[in-house]
Amino acid sequence: MDKGLTVENQIKLLGLDDVEANFGCLLELPSCGGLENALAKIGRRRGAGKAESLALRGKILTLLYRYPQARETLESVVDLDPRLARARAWLGELNLLEGRFEEARAELGRALALENLPWARFHLAAAFAGLGKKSETRQELERARKLAGAGHPAAAAAEALGGLLEAQERRWDSAAKALGRCVAALPKSGWPYALRARIRKAQGDMGECLKDYRSALERRPEIWLYLERSRIHEEMGDIDRALEDVDGALRLDPRRADLYRRRSHLQVCRRHYHLAAPDCSKALELEPRNAAIALERAMVNSIRNRPDLALEDAALAERLSAGEAGILIEVIRLRISSGKLEGQLRAIERLRAKSADYAGAADFLLGCYRLKSRDFRKAAKAFALVKGGAAEGDLSRKAGFYGVVASALLDQPGGGSCAPGPIPLGRSRLNIIGLGVHPPYSASLETLRAIASCDLIFNNLSEPEIAGLLGLLAPECEPTMYDVRGADSRWTAAIFDKLKPGMTVGFVTRGHPLVCGGLAHSLMEEAERKGGVEYRIYGSISSMNSLAARALPPESGGHWGEQVMFYSSFLSPGFRAEARVPSVLYFLSSVQTIDRAGYDAFYSGLERLYSKEHPCYFYGRTFNMAPELLALRELKELHGKLDCSYTLLLPAKEGAGSR
């Protein structure tokens, strides 16, 4: 760059006149590489031009987020030449970026007194916005728009800020229109689309929101844009797209640990814990002294029921954390869960002694310790202290859950204990346990007692809370079984391999083990074939029970029965059913390939029972989601669109009458 160029020309060459305001989260930047080069090229001039060059350095340092250096530089320029308006304006902008709104206002006021700069006018409006002075903000925005003129980036920025103010007042339409004008003024810039995307999100218009993010990314792919869109996809439940965005961000910078952590988090959301662990490892490789990452990997390994790895990572997190309480709490919990109880009581008391703020956490950990030690009475007491204390949110919720678990495992009223009785000599025991459709919260007391009576647990549940529960109730857990579908014989062999005489082994699954349950069926058959194995099935809330509870009752009266049907039942000649009670209808995998004639026969069977307008509640792949409400006649057109993951709830026919 020619060092003889005026500051204005230098600004133009660097594209700095295209730089818009940062509201603490947004900046349109030339690439960092370009700015670094520019910084290197700007000479440290002596004599005339020194102040202008230094001011430019200060501005570029601001753009590079090196705020302390930028401040030092710009303040020295103001000392050197108090009448250099641009330096004051850039110092004012820096104050704005750091949230020092009053100082920003003052400095920008001084800059504007020297020279009427459009950007300074705009930044002054932003400072007033930060101070909550709405009418001053609007006034300055209007001045900035007039001063800059149509087409100037500062005018577009003023439109944007105006839009954000409208958004603050929840006037979404006018906010979106203002951002639309900004988009039109700067068609090549990405940030106006990003701002409008946020407005659209606040409006709940996710379709337009995602379109705007796409437009923003097409114009300038930025890591923060990918991350914002990734979070939106995650909120919408589209984890695959959320992951794609993280991959997009990683292509821009593959050396950012936070991106690997984000990807690991999303793999956990998808329950792909075996994929989450390597991402944690990569993040740790990039930030080897980050205790939080070590702890995250410990928790992933714990969820995978790999206590050996979880404990190693917990020890690493503890070493790196230098006694930070948040890390310590999770480390103690992991150790207790893994059965490493020695020294943990002392660790809990040391945590409690740190501060009264940690009393709730200490009581929670004490409850976990007691639970693992099978002292259910003391466990219940400890968890009750957490609930009653000042602990909020997640800890209180967990303490409430475990408090019930501990109470359930106390001796039952009228005698009895959680142990089902000794195993006859030479035999082993297999507990086949269902934790309901919303595990572990839908677990029944009987199933909790069954788990606590096991020596070893197998499970195929991917919810993270399951690992915590099983870790505290069972002495030993096998790694979580993935890919159980279609692998019954392999897992049956693995479970029976562990069933030694005198042992109780448990297989824990979701729902009711005998409702559409393949592996439970295999296990029973094997037990009967082999002999010498006592088995017991602990049923719990199945989808049919969960849905039946939602079978909206008639206004007066309750149900006097219920039915569970498979769609194939309707194909049997002479099929009969009782339509005056709620029915749950399952689809088998064959529904995907049934021909039109067969499907029509199924539909006709339904029409014989119910009217065409009979409400049908259509549940997707999880039974805790809100169903889609259809009229019966709409089912006719679903041939080829169904699979075995769908379930239908048919309420009782009207006029069923009361009990």
Partner 1 sequence: MALFYVLGLGVDPAQHATVETLQAAGACDAVYCAGLDRRQREFLARFLAPGAALIEARGAEGEAARNIGAKLSQGKTVGLATPAHPFYWNGLAGRIVGECVKGGVPWQTFGAVSAMGLAISKVGLTLGTDIFGLQSFDAAALAARPVVLNPEWPVVIYFYAPLAPKDYDRTLKALGAFFPAAHEAYWCSTADILKTSVGALISGAKRDFRKLVPSTVLFLPAKAAGASPLESSGSAESKVPVPRAPEWIRG
Report the site for partner 1 in 263-292 (rule: CB under 8 A): none
Kindly give the pairing relationship between strand 504-509 and strand 428-434.
Answer: parallel
Kindly give the pairing relationship between strand 583-586 and strand 647-650.
Answer: antiparallel
Q: How far is CA 547 from CA 550, 586, 619, 647, in A?
A: 5, 12, 9, 9
Tokens of 464: 């993270």
| Position 649, amino acid | L
Give the binding range for partner 1 (CB under 8 A) out of 168-176, 229-237, 264-272, 569-577: 569-577
Binding mask 609-638 for partner 1 (x = CB under 8 A): ------------------------------
Q: Figure out which of the listed residues 467, 540, 603, 632 binds partner 1, where binding follows CB under 8 A.
A: 540
Q: Figure out which of the listed residues 106, 404, 503, 638 binds partner 1, where binding follows CB under 8 A.
A: 404
Q: Where are the alpha helices (DSSP H) in 64-171?
A: 67-80, 85-97, 101-114, 118-130, 134-148, 153-168
Closest CA to 297 of 285, 289, 308, 309: 309
* Footprint of partner 1 on 500-519 (CB under 8 A): 512-518
Q: Interface with partner 1 includes 189 (CB under 8 A)?
A: no
State which residue, 39 or 644, has the beta carbon closest to partner 1: 644
The sign of the dihedral angle between the CA atoms of 385, 476, 264, 487 is negative
Q: Figure out which of the listed residues 72, 169, 349, 528 binds partner 1, where binding follows CB under 8 A.
A: 528
Q: Interface with partner 1 includes 487 (CB under 8 A)?
A: no
Q: Figure out which of the listed residues 34, 423, 563, 618 binds partner 1, where binding follows CB under 8 A.
A: 563
Give the binding range for partner 1 (CB under 8 A) out of 56-64, 284-292, 430-438, 490-498: 430-438
What is the DSSP code string of 571-604? GSTT----TTS-EEEE--GGGGT--HHHHHHHHH
Q: Interface with partner 1 includes 408 (CB under 8 A)?
A: yes
First to last CA, the chain: 90
Adjacency order of strands within the sheet including 647-650: 583-586, 647-650, 615-619, 628-631
Strand partners, 536: 431
Whole-angstrom distance, CA of residue 332 vs CA of residue 347? 7
Q: Figure out which of the listed residues 114, 577, 630, 638 binds partner 1, where binding follows CB under 8 A.
A: 577
Whole-angstrom distance, CA of residue 233 vs CA of residue 248? 14
State which residue, 289 or 596, has the beta carbon closest to partner 1: 596
Kindly give the pairing relationship between strand 647-650 and strand 615-619.
Answer: antiparallel
| Position 604, amino acid | S
State which residue, 59 or 512, has the beta carbon closest to partner 1: 512
State which residue, 207 or 573, has the beta carbon closest to partner 1: 573
Q: Interface with partner 1 includes 524 (CB under 8 A)?
A: yes
Q: Interface with partner 1 includes 607 (CB under 8 A)?
A: no
| Position 276, amino acid | A
Radius of gyration (C-alpha) of the chain in whole angstroms: 32
Residue 144: which residues within 8 A CB-CB, separation 6 or more?
Answer: 118, 121, 122, 124, 125, 154, 155, 157, 158
Q: Figure out which of the listed residues 60, 167, 564, 648 binds partner 1, where binding follows CB under 8 A.
A: 564
Tokens of 198: 């946020």
Q: Interface with partner 1 includes 114 (CB under 8 A)?
A: no
Q: Interface with partner 1 includes 496 (CB under 8 A)?
A: no
Whole-angstrom distance, CA of residue 484 vs CA of residue 491? 7
State which residue, 199 or 541, has the beta carbon closest to partner 1: 541
Binding mask 348-387 for partner 1 (x = CB under 8 A): ----------------------------------------
* Footprint of partner 1 on 439-458 (CB under 8 A): 440-446, 448
CB of 420 to partner 1, least distance (A): 10
Q: Interface with partner 1 includes 401 (CB under 8 A)?
A: yes
Q: How far is CA 474 from CA 307, 410, 469, 486, 533, in A?
A: 13, 16, 8, 27, 20
CB of 443 to partner 1, least distance (A): 6
Q: Figure out which of the listed residues 337, 460, 546, 647 binds partner 1, where binding follows CB under 8 A.
A: 546
CB of 154 to partner 1, least distance (A): 48
CA quadruple 145, 147, 150, 155: dihedral, nearest 10: -40
Give the binding range for partner 1 (CB under 8 A) out of 188-196, 241-249, 411-419, 614-622: 411-419
Q: Interface with partner 1 includes 406 (CB under 8 A)?
A: no
Binding residues for partner 1, rule CB under 8 A, total 80
Q: Figure out which of the listed residues 209, 310, 594, 648 binds partner 1, where binding follows CB under 8 A.
A: 594
Q: Interface with partner 1 includes 545 (CB under 8 A)?
A: yes
Give the binding range for partner 1 (CB under 8 A) out of 77-85, 112-120, 197-205, 579-587: 579-587
Exposed, middle or buried, 312 (CB in 10 Å: 0-12/13-18/19+)? middle
State which residue, 191 or 383, has the beta carbon closest to partner 1: 383
Tokens of 492: 């049956």
CB of 573 to partner 1, least distance (A): 9
Count of CB atoms situated within 10 Å of the CB of 641: 9
CB of 434 to partner 1, least distance (A): 8
CB of 28 to partner 1, least distance (A): 46
State which residue, 355 or 556, has the beta carbon closest to partner 1: 556
Q: Interface with partner 1 includes 541 (CB under 8 A)?
A: yes
Give the binding range for partner 1 (CB under 8 A) out of 103-111, 136-144, 232-240, 546-554: 546-554
State which residue, 339 or 420, has the beta carbon closest to partner 1: 420
Q: Figure out which of the listed residues 113, 150, 588, 629 binds partner 1, where binding follows CB under 8 A.
A: 588
Give the binding range for partner 1 (CB under 8 A) out of 88-96, 271-279, 306-314, 588-596: 588-596
Q: Interface with partner 1 includes 561 (CB under 8 A)?
A: yes
* Footprint of partner 1 on 381-400 (CB under 8 A): 388, 400
Kindly give the pairing relationship between strand 504-509 and strand 456-459.
Answer: parallel
Whole-angstrom distance, CA of residue 280 vs CA of residue 340? 24
The sign of the dihedral angle between the CA atoms of 187, 192, 194, 197 is negative
Give the binding range for partner 1 (CB under 8 A) out of 19-27, 40-48, 412-420, 497-505: 412-420
Tokens of 120: 């300074």
Q: Interface with partner 1 includes 576 (CB under 8 A)?
A: yes
CB of 579 to partner 1, least distance (A): 8
State which residue, 141 or 448, has the beta carbon closest to partner 1: 448
* Pairs from 469-475 (Cβ < 8 Å, separation ≥ 24): 469/405, 469/440, 469/443, 470/305, 470/508, 471/302, 471/305, 471/307, 471/337, 471/338, 471/372, 472/336, 472/337, 472/368, 472/371, 472/372, 472/402, 473/371, 473/405, 473/409, 473/448, 474/506, 475/339
State which residue, 224 or 560, has the beta carbon closest to partner 1: 560
Give the binding range for partner 1 (CB under 8 A) out of 254-262, 301-309, 314-322, 567-575: 567-575
Whole-angstrom distance, CA of residue 374 vs CA of residue 103? 61
